[in-house]
Amino acid sequence: MATQEKRRDLRFVVIGAGMAGVLSGIKLLEAGYNNITIYEKADKIGGTWRENTYPGLTCDVPSHSYTYSFEPNPDWSHLLPPGAEIQDYFERTTRKYGVDKLIRFNEEIMACDFRDGQWHLQTRSGISDRADIVIAATGVLHVPRMPAIPGMDSFKGDIFHTARWDHSVPLDGKRVGVVGTGSTGVQIISALSTRAQKLVHFQRTPQWIMPVENRAFTEEEKASFRNDPELLKYMQNEPEYVANVERFTNAIVEPDSPAMHEIEAIVRQNLEDNVRDPELREKLRPNYRAACKRLIFSPDFYEAVQRPGVEVAIGGIDCIEPEGIRGSDGTFHALDVIALATGFQADQFMRPMNIVGRNGVELNAVWSERPRAYYAISIPEFPNFFMLNGPNGPVGNFSLIDIAEHQWHYISQLIDKVASGECREVSARPEALEAFDRERIAAAKSTIFGSGCQSWYLDAEGVPATWPWTQDRFREEMAAPRMGAYELV
Ligand code: NAP
């Protein structure tokens, strides 16, 4: 960072107070900046952990690894953190670092326009603001994908998307349908399998399931985490998990590696060993490679679908009727509640916000084919505008917190160029983005995500919209921007 005495007093606007927006606030304060506003469209922080409150909500990244590196938490209740605890953790951390004072809640940014060397922002309620630097921390999976199922409006019971869970609706002893077999649908099935009178899992495409342990930490363990900072640090970087992450990210990049074959063998064995009924086993058997869709980690999904009252309905949905769902095989399932675990529109990022860069260049036009950004962070003609968890960014199945921290380290060096007076505007060069994108696309096609299945990882042209190289390469690239790829004005 430029030394504080010599640098410009920059004005920052951060969009979104989820994990990445709060991180930005913490890091900016830590660097001595204090002219910062974080605009948040909702009335609380938390992003995905605020919006998702469905039964069974758990993160499949180990608790101690799902923390900011600088803020370990000795009090996680389980090996895998429940959603509500994650939300508490972020709320606590936001207050502890004084970031709560920077946030303007219930203010959705609608427009963001670069004029006269500054960003001009407008909120839905009519507030205008200006910024030298904008950080877009809007998240990836925040616009629910509502399926177009005929008759959906005719349903007389309760129907909602899983990211809009209606907690006033009773579930115990009810007949519940869950549409979708992603990480969300699988967690809900596990949670409701002991509560609903009848639970129907509408599975259009089966998923491979990776077994995972999720026990509670004992009080003794938590006390030792509290009393031993070294142990807590060790837990954050627990060697077995770190090695698994590395093995998995490498396997994604090399679908024919022994590591990927080992993953496939584990998920196949999980299905063979844990689903007793051969007919059900075949219903649950995917016909594509493991990890082609985002791999699902579950300690108990197979157990849940074999409980009395739980049924797996395959083959798609014909329509929704006033009393329930009719499958495409003609079977009718009478239901009181339908939960749509149908995922998210993963290509939205900051949109529907209207963003206009230098010389009137509109983001919607630049992204008309697909969202693109140099290293997921910077877009040509959108100077001093940086994204956290931007397009084509996800690295494997793993912690977006870790990814965001590395991206912040990279962005902070670009901010430094402006703060030090070396330039007033910094953005990726168009030719750098073109070259990066060409290389990324070629690599992405040969990852496991491109091995022949449908998933939210694929863009409109069927190319995986992910980081296509190893985690090591991600870390190396994020260590320092290649400044030749940037235009400094
Ligand atoms: P998703 O992975 O996109 O899954 C959506 C599901 O809905 C799929 O099974 C899809 O079937 C089905 N579907 C969509 N439209 C349908 C229709 N019209 N009729 C029938 N089925 C339909 O969504 P998600 O489960 O919400 O997960 C999204 C992502 O959120 C995850 O991949 C993960 O990144 C994140 N997440 C993470 C965790 C965690 O523990 N870390 C937990 C939950 C979510 P097809 O497969 O046939 O398309």
Instruction: Indicate whether 93 pLDDT > 60.
Output: yes
Q: How far is CA 83 from CA 96, 302, 429, in A?
A: 20, 22, 40
Instruction: Indicate whether 270 pLDDT > 80.
Output: yes
What pLDDT does residue 293 have? 96
Q: What percent of the chain has pLDDT over 90?
A: 93
pLDDT band at 5 (very low <50, low <70, confident <90, very high): low
Residue 294 Cα to ligand 1 midpoint, Å, equals 9
The CATH architecture assigned to 12-43+105-143+345-488 reads 3-Layer(bba) Sandwich (3.50)
Q: How far is CA 224 from CA 63, 82, 227, 228, 309, in A?
A: 16, 21, 5, 6, 42
Counting from 1 in the atom list of ligand 1, the atom nearest the Cα of 342 is 7
Euclidean distance between the first and final Cα of the chain, in Å?
Answer: 19
Counting from 1 in the atom list of ligand 1, the atom nearest the Cα of 340 is 7
* Section 457-473 average pLDDT: 93
Instruction: Indicate whether 2 pLDDT > 60.
Output: no
Q: How far is CA 318 from CA 155, 344, 383, 419, in A?
A: 14, 21, 48, 58
- Beta bridge mates, 174: none
* Section 249-266 average pLDDT: 95
What pLDDT does residue 6 have? 77
Q: Fold for 152-340, please state it.
A: FAD/NAD(P)-binding domain (3.50.50)
Counting from 1 in the atom list of ligand 1, the atom nearest the Cα of 60 is 40
Task: Give the DSSP letter string of 155-198.
Answer: -SSEEEEGGG--TTS--TTSEEEEE--SHHHHHHHHHHTTT-SE
* Lowest-confidence region among 3-12, 153-162, 285-294, 299-308: 3-12
What pLDDT does residue 393 have? 84
- Beta bridge mates, 118: 115
DSSP state of 351: T
What pLDDT does residue 4 have? 64
Pocket of ligand 1 (CB under 6 A): 58-60, 141, 147, 149, 179-185, 202, 204-205, 294, 317, 341-344, 454, 456
Instruction: Indicate whether 192 pLDDT > 80.
Output: yes
What pLDDT does residue 7 have? 87
Per-residue b or e along 439-460, where b marks 16 or more CB atoms closer than 10 Å to that residue's CB: ebbebbeebbbbbebebbbbbe
Residue 210 Cα to ligand 1 midpoint, Å, equals 16
pLDDT band at 90 (very low <50, low <70, confident <90, very high): very high
Residue 107 Cα to ligand 1 midpoint, Å, equals 29
* For residue 81, cis peptide bond before it (omega within 30 degrees of 0): no
* Section 249-254 average pLDDT: 93
Residue 78 Cα to ligand 1 midpoint, Å, equals 24
Ligand 1: which residue has its CA nearest to atom 8?
Answer: 180
Strands, E assignment, 285-359: 296-298, 310-314, 317-321, 324-327, 332-334, 337-340, 354-356
Average pLDDT, whole number, for the chain?
96
Instruction: Indicate whether 485 pLDDT > 60.
Output: yes
Instruction: Indicate whether 225 pLDDT > 80.
Output: yes
Contact 79, 211 (CB under 8 A): no
Residue 89 token pair: 């953790």
Residue 41 Cα to ligand 1 midpoint, Å, equals 24
Residue 471 Cα to ligand 1 midpoint, Å, equals 24
User: CATH topology of 12-43+105-143+345-488 equal to that of 152-340?
Assistant: yes
* Section 209-232 average pLDDT: 97
Counting from 1 in the atom list of ligand 1, the atom nearest the Cα of 297 is 40
What pLDDT does residue 463 have? 94
Residue 344 Cα to ligand 1 midpoint, Å, equals 7
Counting from 1 in the atom list of ligand 1, the atom nearest the Cα of 58 is 40
Instruction: Indicate whether 1 pLDDT > 60.
Output: no
For the chain, what are the domain ranges? 12-43+105-143+345-488, 152-340
User: CA angle at residue 409 from 16 to 236, to 5 degrees?
Assistant: 85
Q: How many whole angstroms separate alpha carbon 390 and alpha carbon 371?
A: 9
